[in-house]
Structure 1
Amino acid sequence: MITILLLLVAYLLGSIPSGLWIGHYFFHKNLRDFGSGNIGTTNTFRILGKKAGTIVFAMDLLKGTLATVLPLIFGIETISPALFGLFAVLGHTFSIFNHFQGGKAVATAAGMLLGYSPKFILLLVVVFFITFYLTSMVSFASVLSAGVAAILVLVLPAFHLIFTSYDWLFTSIVLFIACFIIVRHRDNITRIRNKTENIFNFGLNITHQKHNI
């Protein structure tokens, strides 16, 4: 029973629509009406600025981490912490507080990995920032990092790097979330192919996208 309750708590944690609430209470703006209409970190940066974007990113990250460590806090050892992180990711994407809509799950998924394996997320952060610098696109960096995560979670345990053995539930969850993130970015992928994706004024923009944020 306690496990079910904590999974529900993990979902509710993930459901907290950080960007939506911060935009509403502090800026009197509904993020769903501006930019991409997304309530996640990138659109918050674009519409509300760096400070708000940083706060939203931190909140979305930490709710994934907190959900993942819930079983450790309550001494539950019979189920992988990654499952609790998955519920937070699903909550973030299908928020009960936002008509079962939400962000694209990148920050909360990163938080889940931070709670489960800091070394693994550190490796992915390196991939993300190198890609972001080269392309100037958060979307491209997010999609590539998700793809790399899917590959590494299959490869690393075979060589006892970071993971000493396979945890197939964790592996399945990472594969699912990676595919989920890529699918959630399908519109971005289309714009990237058409060279019309939004970019930040940072990095090299090697794909020559035309829309600056």
Structure 2
Amino acid sequence: MTTILLLIVAYLLGSIPSGLWIGKFFFHKNLQDYGSGNIGTTNTFRILGKKAGSVVFILDLLKGTLATLLPLMFGIETVSPALFGLFAVLGHTFSIFNHFKGGKAVATAAGFLLGYSPWFVVLLGIIFIIAFYLTSMVSFASVLGAACAGILVLILPSLHLILTSYDWVFTVIMFFLACFIIFRHRENITRIRNKSENVFNFGLNLTHQKHNI
């Protein structure tokens, strides 16, 4: 019973729509009516600015981390922490506080990884930053990071690097989340192929997408 209750708590933590609430309460704007209509970090940066975007990123990250640490806090050893992280990511994407709509899961998934394997999220963060600098696109960096996560979770344990052994629950969840994040970015992928994706005014924009920020 305790495990079930904590999984519900993990989902509710993930469901907190940080960008939506900050936009409404502090800027009197509904992010769903602006830009991409997404309530995650990227659209918050675009519509509300760097400070608000940074706050939303941190909050979305931390709710994934906190959810993943719930079993450690309450002494639950029979269920993988990865399952709690998954529930937070699903909450973020299908928020009960926002008609079961939400963000694209990247920041909260990173928070889940931060709680489960900090060095793994550091490695993926390096990949993300390099990809972002080369392309100026958060979407491309997110898709590449997700794809690398899905591959590395299979490779690193065999090499005893960072992930020193296989946790098959974690492996399956990570592979699912990698595919899920890529699927959530399918419209971005189409725009990238058409060279019409929005980019930040940062980095090299090697694929020559149109500028937006």
Equivalent positions of 1:192-211 (< 5 A) are 192-211=192-211
Equivalent positions of 1:9-20 (< 5 A) are 9-20=9-20
What stretches of structure 2 of length at least 5 have no aligned partner?
A: none
Size of the aligned set, in residue pairs, is 213
Where do 4+ consecutive residues of structure 1 move more than 4 Å?
A: none
CA distance in 2, matches of 1:157, 1:211: 40
Superposition TM-score, scaled by structure 2 size = 0.99
CA contact (8 A) 2:201 2:211 kept: no
Q: Identity across aligned pairs (percent)?
A: 81
Structure 1 counterpart of 2:150, which letter?
A: A
- State the partner residue of 2:59: 59
Equivalent positions of 1:35-74 (< 5 A) are 35-74=35-74
State the 1:108 CA deviation: 0.1
Equivalent positions of 1:172-211 (< 5 A) are 172-211=172-211
Give deviations 1:76-120, integer Å, cap 9, x for gaps.
000100100000000000000000000000000000000000000
Give deviations 1:119-157, integer Å, cap 9, x for gaps.
000000000000000000000000000000011000000
Give deviations 1:27-66, integer Å, cap 9, x for gaps.
0000000000000000000000000000000000000000
Structure 1 counterpart of 2:22, which letter?
A: I
Structure 2 counterpart of 1:159, which letter?
A: L
- State the partner residue of 2:151: 151
CA distance in 1, matches of 2:19, 2:127: 25
What stretches of structure 1 of length at least 5 have no aligned partner?
A: none
CA distance in 2, matches of 1:6, 1:40: 24
Structure 2 counterpart of 1:8, which letter?
A: I
Superposition TM-score, scaled by structure 1 size = 0.99
CA distance in 1, matches of 2:164, 2:125: 21
1:116 paired to 2:137: no
CA distance in 1, matches of 2:71, 2:97: 24
